[in-house]
Structure 1
C-alpha cells in the first residue's frame, strides 16, 4: 500500500511526504524500482530516508512504501562462508541472478530457503526452557557448530521437538508459554541491527586474545572481548595486520567488514580468504568466516548498515558461547558517510564538518564488544573482540575520527609510514602505541607463560624509549661520544627491533609465534644485554661482545619450529654465558 511520495532527492538522501504513520529507522521501499532505504529523520509527516542503492533516475512523485519493520538481519545456519553486502544481500546469489553489476531494487533472502540442515535436538519434550537456551545444534561447517537458541523473550515448556533435516524457515520445536500459547521456533531468527543483543552479565576481560604477532601479544596485547584501533596512513599495513589477526587470532569465528575501502583491497580479501589455510582445522579460513563486502564505489549510506550488520552477526555467534573476532576496515569511511548524510540533512556540523554525534555513534559500536555470560541456563561465556582500522588523511591522528576512537578503545596500534617504507612490518610504532589491558593481562601471562614475562615486557619497552633519547644525542655527537654501556644498549635495541618486533607475515614459521617462543626469544635478547654489561664491567672488549657469532643465532631463533624451541633456548643460554666468561677471561689475561 502506498504511504508517501518522493518530494526531494539529494544524492543518497530522499525526502518523502505523507509518512506520518511510519517510524524512525523503518525500512522503506523507494520509487518504482523499490530501492531499499531507512528512515533517519521524521519531521511534520515528512521522512528523510537514506537509500542504500544508487538513486540516479528517481523522480519526485514516485511512491514510497514502509515495511513497518527496522533494518534487521537474518540469523541462522548458512551465515558462515557467505559474502554479503552492507544490507545482508548474498553477493554470490546476486551474481548468478544479475551478473557482476548488482541491479537496483534486487533483493534476495540472506539465508538459503531451500537448503536443508541436519538439526540435532538437545532438549526433550517437557523440558522447561528460557531465552538463550540451546534447543539443538546444526553442524554448519567442519569448524562451526551452530547452536539453535530459544528466541529472546520466549520461555516455557517444550511441547514438541525432533531431530531431522529442516530448512531455516521450518519449525523445529514448539514451546508452550505460561499463558498456554504455542510458539513455533525455527532455526532462523531476525534481529534489528541497531539494537544490541542481550546477555546476562558483562565480565571483565582478563584473558588475552593471542594473535601470534610478537609486537601485539608481548608489547600491546588485546583482551578477549576487548576493543582496539589500528590507525595509519595509506600503505602502512592496516589490511595486512587485520589479515594476520583474522588468520591467527585465538577466535572461533571471524567477521570481516569491508566498510567503504577501495574496491581492489576488498577484492584482495575476497580472493585471499578462501585460499588461506586455517591453522586450527587445516581447511579454508572461510569455514569459520563471514565477510561483509562494502566498497568505496557503493552508495555511502550502505557503509553505516555494513558496520551494524557485521556486529549483529558477531553478537549472534558470541551468544552461542564462541570467541568472535570482528575486523572493521575502516571506520573512517563510515564516519565520512555520516558526515555526508549529516550535511544533506542540514544539521549543525561539528569539528571538520563531522556530525556532533560522531563520538557517540563510534562508542555505541565499540561498546557492543565484550566478554559476557550468555542468556540461558548453561552458563555459556562468549567474547566479541572488535578491531577497527582508522584511515586518517595523511596519517594525521589529530583529526576527529581518530581522536574520538582513541577516547573509546583500550588498545592503540599506531602504524607508522616510515617503518612501512623501511620494510619493517608490522609497522606498529612502539613509541606511541599502548594497551590499557596490559596490567590486567600481566597476571595471565605470569601464570600461563612465565612469571618474568611482565617484567621482560616493561624492560623492553623502557629500553626502546631510552634508545629514542640516545638517538638524539647520537645525531649531535656521534655514536663514539656515548659510553660503552649506552652503545651496547643501542645494539640490544636494534636486536629487539629487527629480531623481535619485525615479523614476516609470508614466512611459514615466522608468521605465527607462540607465547612460549615469544618469551624465550625476548629472554635471550635481554640475557645478552645483561651478560654484555657484566662483560663490560669486567673489562671485556666491547667489539668482541657485539660481534659474537651468537647474535646471529639469537636472530635466527624466530625461524625455529616450535618443537625445537625449548632445547635450542637452553643451548643458547649456556653458550651465551660461556662466551662472555671466555671474553672476561681474555680481558683478565691481557691486564695481567
Structure 2
C-alpha cells in the first residue's frame, strides 16, 4: 500500500492534518487510518500536510497512520471506460456493489481497479508500423474495438519520452495489463500495457489549439438555430429545485407536522415506507407556481402549491412515454413541467402515490395491535376527558403496557383535554393503523349507512387532528370525507370489512387523482433529502423533494458528439439511477444502424449523499477522461451537473482550512478554479501520428440558490467564462412551452465563428436566423404597445409580425419531446422550417405594399391553407429520411408561393 511516513495530528470533517510528512508533494495521493481512506494533500507547511479525504472520516483519530503513494490523484485510461459508471475518484460502482454483498452503501476504504484486469480485448497493431521505427508521445501503436461505436486507439502516453520501437505484440486477445509494445528509451527498454494513468489536475498536452468550426447539434430547434455552441465550446445552463409554497405542512419522522419554511438541515422527514429521510440541503426559488389538487373517489382530499420544477410521484398502470418506471412498481418521478406536456389520455391514467408503511417505524410498534384498538375507542368517544378517573381507567386497561405505547396514548389528549390523533400514528405498521381506525369507527356506532361510495363511518375528530385522521384513512385504502363534527370514512365494502373485522392484512385503496391549476408567482421553499428523496405530506400523499436538469441529459441522448462523459456532481442519486435506467433503452442511429447509447457514454456519479470532498475530484476526473477520448480524434461532450455543488465542496474545504471567505462564503479563488476547468474545453490537433483532431465541449449546469443567477457568485463567475448561455424561463414552463429557453435572455458568442460552416452547407441560414431574431425582438416591443392601446390599433405590417412571431414561438421554438416527429429535429429540418415561415412572412409584407387597401385579415383569409402549412410541416418524421422530407418541404414552399400568386390575381 505504501510506506508509513506520517501520523494524523487533527481531524476536522473531510480535512485532516498529518505530521511527519517530509518528502511528500502537493496533490499527492495518500491513504489514511486503518481503513486506508483515500485522500489528497492540498497544503504543505513544514512537516505537516493538510489532507482532503474523499470518504467519511468518522473513526479517524490522532496518531492514526498515514500512508504515502508517491503519485498524484490519477485516473486509469484505456479500454473499458465506455459504458461504465464511476464514483468521483474513478472507482467502478458496479464492481463495488458486487463486493458489498448486496448492500446499498459503499464500504469505506474499498479499493478496486478502475479498469477490468480480466476482460480480454482484441488487440490489433497499427498497419504499417515497423519494429525499429521511432515513435513519439501520442503516437497510435494499435487499436481495440471496444464496442460497435468506439474503436479505442492505444497511444504512447503523453508523458512518455518516446524512442525506438523494439517489439509489438501480434494481434489477438489480451488484457489491459499485458505488454503490447516495447520502447527503447535512452538505452533502457520500457514495456507498455494497453492502459496508462494520468493526473486529474494536469491538462493533457496537445500539438495545437484550433478554433471551433462545427456546431454541436442538440436536436432542439431553439438551441441549434438561435444559440448554437461549437464542438469544443463552453456552455452554461441553469438547473432548478422543486419547492413548496410557504405554509405547506410536511411530516417529520416522528409523525409531527412542520411547516416547510421551518425545515432545517439535519431535520428528519417521514419517508413513504415509514422510515426517516434526512434533509441535507435547503433552497429557495421564486417564480410561477401550480396548485396540486387531489381527490379520492371524486371527493376533495388536499391542495398543495408547488413550483414548476417540483417532481411529482405518479403511479400509472400504463407506460408513461419519455419516462422510466421505478423497478418493481407503478411509480414514475415526473417534474410538473414534464407532466404538463403529457397527452391528456396519459394524464388521465395517473394518480399521486400514497403513503405505505411497510416496516415498523416510530416508537410504538412493540405494543400489541389490540392496544391501538383501545386508543381508537378513546379517541372516538367524544365524552372522554383527561380527568383522574380516565387516567385510572387507561391504566386498568393497559396495565403495565410498554411505556412508549402509554406515551402514545397520553398524546391523544391536548393540553385542554381535547381528543387528539397524533401524527405519529402515520408511522405505525398497517395492522396498528387499521385497529386504531376500527376503534374510532366502532365507538361511533357506524352511523350513516350505505351510499354509492360504500359505507359512511363518522369518526369524531377535532379540527386539530383532521389532517392526521384523513392521512390515516388514505393509508388503509379509505376515502376521508369532512362532515359536521368529524370525518366520515367511505369506501367499497371490501375496504371496510377488513377494517371492522380486523382480519385481512390486504391494503386495497382508491387512487388519489389530481389536477394542476396555474397559480401566482411566489417564493417557494425546498430541500434535498438523502435516500430515495421522497417524503409524505399530512394528507398521506407522497412527494419528491426537488426537480432535475433536463436539457443536459437530452444532449447526452441526441447530440452529434462521438461520445459523452456525464458527471453528476453532488446531484441526486435517483437522477443518476434514472440515467442508468433510461440510457440502456435508448438507441442512437449512425449511418443507418442503431446502437445502444451506453456504448458511447461514461458516467461519473458523485451524488449528494456521498462525501462532500469527493465532489471536487469528480469534475476533474470527468474532464480528464474527456481529454483522453479527444486525443483519439473524437468529439466529446462533457456534462457537468452541477458546478454549483462542486463550488460548495470548495467552500466546505476552504472553511475547514480557515481561509478568508469571499462572496457568499466562497473561496477567493473560485473564479480561477472555474476558469481553469472550462479552459480544458476546446478543439485541438493532438500529439502523435497519424494526425488527429478532436474536441471537448463542456456544458456546465449551475443551480443558484433561489434561482437568482445575478446574485450567485458561481453563476456570475461562470457567465464571465462561458461563451453560450441557455437561460431557462419558468414562465414559459408555466405556459407549457418546452424547451423553456428564453430567447431574449439567452445568448451565444459562437455565431460568427460558425458562419463559414453555415455558408458552406446551409447558405441561407445566417440571414434566416437574423430575420427570425428580429421578429421575436420586435414582437416584444409590440406587445408592450398592445397592452396600452390594443391589437386593433397596430399597423397592418405590425399585425403580420405579431402573428408570425406567434407561429415561431408555438410551432418552431416549442417542441414536444413525447412525439416521434418532434423529439429530435435534424438541422436540415430546422432550416427548412425557418425558410417556410419567413418566406410566408416576406410574401405577406410584400403583398401588403401593393396598391389598394390591403389588410392582414384579407391576406390570412386568402392564404389560410398555406398559413396552416407553417404549423403542419413540423410533423414530418425524421425517420422517413432527408430526401423524403426535403421533397415535402419543397412542395410546401411551392404551395405557399402559389397561394400568394393567386391572392395577387
Band the TM-score falls in, shorter-chain normalisation? over 0.9
1:214 aligns with 2:198: no
Hey, what's the Cα distance between the residues in 1 that align with 2:119 and 2:744? 52
Q: Which residue of 2 aligns with 1:376?
A: 688
What residue ranges of structure 1 are gaps of 5+ in the alignment?
A: 586-592
Hey, what's the Cα distance between the residues in 2 that align with 1:346 and 1:556? 62
Hey, what's the Cα distance between the residues in 2 that align with 1:271 and 1:286? 11
Q: 1:551 aligns with which of 841, 858, 867?
A: 867
C-alpha contact (below 8 Å) 1:174/1:183 kept by paired residues: yes
Give the deviation of 1:466 after TM superposition. Answer: 1.2
1:76 aligns with 2:78: yes
1:315 aligns with 2:635: no
Give the structure with higher Rg (CA): 2
Which structure's residues are more often helix, by fraction?
1
The one of the two structures with greater contact order (alpha-carbon pairs below 8 A, sep at least 6) is 2
1:436 aligns with 2:746: no
Give the deviation of 1:151 after TM superposition. Answer: 1.8
1:470 aligns with 2:795: no
C-alpha contact (below 8 Å) 1:231/1:238 kept by paired residues: no
Hey, what's the Cα distance between the residues in 1 that align with 2:192 and 2:775? 59
Hey, what's the Cα distance between the residues in 1 that align with 2:822 and 2:616? 37
Q: 1:249 aligns with which of 559, 567, 580?
A: 559
Give the deviation of 1:541 after TM superposition. Answer: 4.1
Q: Which moved more, 1:335-344 or 1:6-15?
A: 6-15
Give the deviation of 1:214 after TM superposition. Answer: 1.1
Give the deviation of 1:202 after TM superposition. Answer: 0.5
C-alpha contact (below 8 Å) 1:232/1:416 kept by paired residues: no
Q: Which residue of 1 aligns with 2:122?
A: 118
Give the deviation of 1:319 after TM superposition. Answer: 0.4
Q: Which residue of 2 aligns with 1:258?
A: 568
Give the deviation of 1:540 after TM superposition. Answer: 3.9
Aligned ranges 1:46-125 → 2 under 5 Å:
46-98=48-100, 99-122=103-126, 123-125=129-131
C-alpha contact (below 8 Å) 2:799/2:856 kept by paired residues: no
C-alpha contact (below 8 Å) 1:339/1:355 kept by paired residues: yes
1:273 aligns with 2:273: no
Q: Which residue of 2 aligns with 1:512?
A: 824
Q: Which residue of 1 aligns with 2:810?
A: 498
Hey, what's the Cα distance between the residues in 1 that align with 2:198 and 2:802? 56
Q: Which residue of 2 aligns with 1:157?
A: 164
Q: Which residue of 1 aligns with 2:240?
A: 233
C-alpha contact (below 8 Å) 2:821/2:877 kept by paired residues: yes
Q: Deviation string for 1:562-591 (max 9, x for gaps)? A: 433222222222222232333444xxxxxx
C-alpha contact (below 8 Å) 2:661/2:667 kept by paired residues: yes
Structure 1 runs (4+) deviating above 3 angstroms are 538-541, 544-547, 581-585
1:175 aligns with 2:183: yes
Hey, what's the Cα distance between the residues in 2 that align with 1:247 and 1:546? 40
Q: Deviation string for 1:451-477 (max 9, x for gaps)? A: 221011111111111111111112222
Give the deviation of 1:216 after TM superposition. Answer: 1.4
Aligned residue for 1:438, secondary structure, equals coil
Q: Which residue of 1 aligns with 2:524?
A: none
Q: Which residue of 1 aligns with 2:876?
A: 560
Give the deviation of 1:384 after TM superposition. Answer: 0.9
Aligned ranges 1:10-21 → 2 under 5 Å:
10-21=12-23
TM-score, scaled relative to structure 2:
0.63
Q: Which residue of 2 aligns with 1:579?
A: 899
Aligned ranges 1:171-210 → 2 under 5 Å:
171-177=179-185, 179-210=186-217
Q: Which moved more, 1:562-571 or 1:452-461?
A: 562-571
Q: Which moved more, 1:304-313 or 1:482-491?
A: 482-491
Pairwise CA RMSD: 1.6
Q: Which residue of 1 aligns with 2:425?
A: none
Give the number of equivalent residue pairs. Answer: 583
Aligned residue for 2:752, secondary structure, equals helix
Hey, what's the Cα distance between the residues in 1 that align with 2:652 and 2:790? 52
Give the deviation of 1:518 after TM superposition. Answer: 1.0
Q: Deviation string for 1:450-503 (max 9, x for gaps)? A: x22101111111111111111111222222222221121111111111111112
Aligned residue for 1:268, secondary structure, equals helix
Q: Which residue of 1 aligns with 2:658?
A: 346
Q: 1:418 aligns with which of 708, 711, 731?
A: 731
What residue ranges of structure 2 are gaps of 5+ in the alignment?
A: 242-308, 310-336, 338-546
Give the deviation of 1:334 after TM superposition. Answer: 0.3
C-alpha contact (below 8 Å) 2:29/2:70 kept by paired residues: yes
Q: Deviation string for 1:125-150 (max 9, x for gaps)? A: 12221111110000001110110001
Q: Which residue of 2 aligns with 1:40?
A: 42
